[in-house]
């Protein structure tokens, strides 16, 4: 299933998102910067993409870590999952956090995260005195397994 998403370049050097393979769920987002930056251990840096998007109504852009960047360099989005709402028209940026013990460089054009465009439901929350019973009930963290 394909969905068109309008993208505006805010910087002439910006790179449009790309998919790594035919069946990739997430498209790669690229760093757009004038010079290489260094992220110190434990530091978070807001990395620009140079792009703004018009995500269609009823959809959201969810920004996740790239597994290669996280495992090889220790960099991942500080907010774990970023959300780009359909009414946001500002620059898409990724707050990259350095989880490693070494300073890490990020260069212009480097793939810094991946974005999945996904449909969502808007909940209509209704106050209720009672909830349906389930087998799990109030079992919380770790309650569904023994391992």
Residue 129 lies in a domain: no
Tell me how many domains the chain contains. Answer: 1
Residue 18 lies in a domain: yes
C-alpha dist (Å) from residue 66 to 71, 77, 100, 136, 143: 9, 9, 15, 34, 30
Predicted TM-score (pTM) of the model is 0.89
Residue 22 lies in a domain: yes
With contact defined as beta carbons under 8 Å apart, do 25 and 64 qualify? Answer: no
Residue 92 lies in a domain: yes
CB count, 10 Å around CB of 107? 11
pLDDT tens figures, 69-112:
999 999 999 999 999 999 999 999 999 999 999 999 999 999 99
């Amino acid at each position: 299933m394909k969905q068109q998403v309008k993208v505006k370049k805010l910087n002439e050097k910006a790179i449009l998102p790309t998919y790594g393979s035919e069946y990739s769920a997430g498209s790669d987002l690229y760093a757009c910067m004038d010079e290489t930056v260094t992220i110190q251990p434990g530091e978070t840096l807001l990395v620009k993409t140079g792009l703004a998007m018009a995500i269609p109504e009823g959809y959201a852009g969810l920004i996740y870590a790239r597994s290669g960047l996280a495992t090889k360099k220790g960099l991942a989005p500080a907010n774990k999952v970023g959300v780009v709402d359909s009414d946001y028209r500002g620059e898409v940026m990724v707050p990259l956090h350095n989880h490693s013990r070494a300073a890490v460089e990020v260069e212009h054009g480097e793939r810094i995260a991946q974005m999945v465009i996904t449909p969502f439901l808007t909940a209509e929350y209704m106050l209720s005195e009672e909830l349906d019973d389930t087998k799990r009930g109030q079992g919380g963290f770790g309650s569904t397994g023994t391992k």
